[in-house]
């Protein structure tokens, strides 16, 4: 309710302005009629000939009609400008309210995303400190702890990247890579994918030599894979395809998840946006991943599009220029 207060105040102001306009129109109508009647009386007293009086009255009536046409025109222009202003201001208010809600949800999500791996790591350390475990068990716990640290690091990187993108502070250090080698290297070295690598299938249709910033491309790839895994069931496979078409290197990330509505596709790359679908509302996330992906792709002079996968799921297709 508190977020809607500016909009409520705006509506009250609009009603006040409209009432003032109606009052102004009413007063102007009465004033013109009074002036017209006074002039008619003046003409009747000034001329003795009926023909002269009729001529003067006809001229006066014509002037009154012209004045009313002018007033109606000015009123129409005023109402048009007022309606346009109401539309623009209302739209701005609603966008600000939506952004405010998204920011609140973002803060709640970040808090949860930070607390979960921290609590996990604390439990792992307490387990190592209090119990005599076999080397295999210790290695397994350490592996899980490192995965949680990588998850935290990924979250912090996304927040920092988002800030740098909005401030226009992105500096790319491009190098030449074979796209297939780069994709496989990032997936194999990623700690946050350590427990789900068996669900990622990399397919090279046509390899391509591209100029990319390794760190930026890593954020693109990992965010897309994480997004695909997040909205798929725990047994489905995420396909990463590498292809080449004319002067474009193509990267596709395909999932067999719940898919996306047309509305979600239009808004997916907005900052803080998360699908309102009941199936996805309880999934973890901050609404920054696809915002970062879209901007990093643009910084590489590339394009990204979302398609429906068959029989279900989504396809994110990125095209990078090849020189």
pLDDT at 297 over 90: yes
pLDDT one-digit tens code per residue, 180-199 = 999 999 998 887 787 788 89
pLDDT at 106 over 50: yes
pLDDT at 249 over 70: yes
Percent of the chain exceeding pLDDT 70 equals 85
Residue 303 has a CB neighbour count (10 Å cut-off) of 14
> Which range scores top for mean pLDDT: 1-5, 100-104, 267-271?
267-271
Residue of 156, 63, 145 whose CA lies nearest to 113: 156
Alpha-carbon span 269 to 260, nearest angstrom: 13
Number of residues in the chain? 323
pLDDT at 321: 92
pLDDT band (50, 70, 90) for residue 112: low
pLDDT at 96 over 80: no
Alpha-carbon span 203 to 114, nearest angstrom: 34
pLDDT at 105: 65
Alpha-carbon span 161 to 228, nearest angstrom: 20
Alpha-carbon span 167 to 11, nearest angstrom: 34
User: What value does the mean pLDDT of the chain take?
Assistant: 81
Quote the radius of gyration of the chain (alpha carbons, Å). 33
Mean pLDDT of 158-183: 84
Question: For the stretch 30-54, what's the b/e string if a residue is b when 16 or more beta carbons lie within 10 angstroms of its beta carbon?
Answer: eeeeeebeeeeeebeeeeeeeeebe
Of residues 11 and 197, more confidently modeled: 197
pLDDT band (50, 70, 90) for residue 230: confident
Q: Which pair of structure tokens corresponds to residue 28?
A: 């102007």
Cis peptide before 66 (omega within 30 of 0): no
The least confident of 67-71, 97-101, 144-148 is: 97-101
pLDDT at 205: 93
pLDDT at 279 over 60: no
Mean pLDDT of 74-84: 79
> Which range scores top for mean pLDDT: 119-133, 188-202, 209-223, 279-293?
209-223
pLDDT at 280: 46
pLDDT at 89 over 80: no
pLDDT one-digit tens code per residue, 45-66 = 666 667 766 776 777 777 777 7
What's the 3-state SS for the chain? CHHHHHHHHHHHHHHHHHHHHHHHHHHHHHHHHHHHHHHHHHHHHHCCCHHHHHHHHHHHHHHHHHHHHHHHHHHHHHHHHHHHHHHHHHHHHHHHHHHHHHHHHHHHHHHHHHHHHHHHHHHHHHHHHHCCCCHHHHHHHHHHHHHHHHHHHHHHHHHHHHHHHHCCCCCCCEEEEEHHHHHHHHHHHCCCCCCCHHHEEEEECCCCEEEEEHHHHHHHHHHHHHHHHHCCCCCCCEEEEEEEECCEEEEEEECCCCCCCHHHHHHCCCCCCCCCCCCCCCCCCCCCHHHHHHHHHHHCCCEEEEEECCCCCEEEEEEEECC
Alpha-carbon span 250 to 120, nearest angstrom: 38
Percent of the chain exceeding pLDDT 90 equals 24
Q: Which pair of structure tokens corresponds to residue 276?
A: 């309102």
Mean pLDDT of 22-50: 72
Of residues 1 and 13, more confidently modeled: 13
Alpha-carbon span 133 to 39, nearest angstrom: 108
pLDDT at 278: 39
């Amino acid at each position: 309710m508190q977020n809607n207060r500016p909009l409520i105040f705006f509506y009250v102001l609009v009603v006040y302005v409209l009432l003032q306009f109606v009052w102004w129109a009413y007063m102007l109508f009465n004033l013109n009629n009074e002036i017209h009647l006074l002039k008619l009386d003046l003409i009747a007293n000034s001329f003795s000939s009926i023909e002269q009086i009729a001529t003067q009255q006809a001229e006066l009536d014509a002037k009154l009609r012209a004045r009313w046409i002018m007033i109606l025109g000015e009123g129409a222009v005023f109402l048009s400008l007022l309606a346009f202003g109401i539309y623009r201001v209302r739209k701005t208010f609603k966008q600000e309210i939506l952004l405010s809600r998204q920011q609140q949800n973002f803060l709640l999500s970040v808090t949860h995303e930070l607390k979960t791996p921290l609590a996990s790591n604390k439990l792992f350390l307490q387990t190592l400190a209090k119990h005599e475990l076999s080397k295999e068990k210790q290695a397994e716990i350490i592996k899980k702890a490192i995965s949680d640290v990588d998850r935290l690091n990924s979250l912090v990187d996304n927040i920092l990247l988002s800030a740098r993108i909005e401030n226009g502070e992105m500096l790319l250090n491009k190098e030449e890579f074979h796209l297939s080698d780069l994709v496989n290297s990032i997936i194999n070295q990623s700690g946050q994918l350590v427990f789900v690598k068996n669900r990622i299938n990399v397919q090279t249709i046509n390899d391509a030599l591209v100029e990319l910033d390794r760190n930026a491309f890593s954020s693109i790839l990992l965010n897309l894979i994480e997004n695909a895994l997040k909205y798929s069931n725990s047994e489905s496979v995420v396909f990463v395809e590498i292809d080449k078409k004319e002067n474009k290197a193509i990267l596709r990330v395909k999932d067999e998840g719940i898919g996306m509505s047309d509305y979600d596709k239009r808004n997916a790359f907005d900052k803080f946006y998360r699908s309102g679908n009941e199936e996805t509302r309880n999934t973890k996330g901050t609404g920054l991943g696809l915002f970062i992906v879209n901007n990093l792709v643009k910084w590489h002079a590339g394009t990204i599009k979302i398609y429906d996968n068959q029989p279900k799921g989504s396809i994110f297709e990125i095209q990078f220029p090849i020189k």
